[in-house]
């Protein structure tokens, strides 16, 4: 109910695939992990998505 009030969505499987693609694009611009991580946070905020778990974010940035 809180997510609906704030117009946020959970980060489901489809959104996670978009995050992985965004991480790969960001890594082409700058290979620093902090840059890739910040770009993912911007993506999540812009699309009003709840942040996935830390381990998913860490794995995604590491793969990119």
Q: Would you say residue 4 has pLDDT above 90? A: no
pLDDT in tens, 11-44: 899 999 999 999 999 999 999 999 999 999 999 9
- Mean pLDDT, residues 46-59 taken together: 93
CA distance readout (Å), 10 to 3, 28, 32, 62: 8, 27, 27, 22
Spell out the domain ranges in the chain: 2-63
pLDDT in the model for residue 6? 86
Alpha helices in the chain, H assignment, sequence order: 2-5, 13-29, 33-46, 54-63
> What is residue 1's predicted lDDT score, i.e. its pLDDT?
87
Is residue 50 within 8 Å of residue 10, measured between CB atoms?
yes
């Amino acid at each position: 109910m809180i997510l609906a009030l704030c117009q946020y969505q959970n980060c489901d499987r489809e959104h996670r695939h978009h995050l992985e693609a965004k991480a790969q694009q960001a890594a082409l611009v700058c290979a620093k992990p902090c840059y890739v991580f910040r770009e993912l946070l911007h993506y999540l905020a812009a699309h009003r998505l709840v942040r996935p778990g830390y381990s998913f974010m860490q794995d995604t940035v590491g793969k990119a």
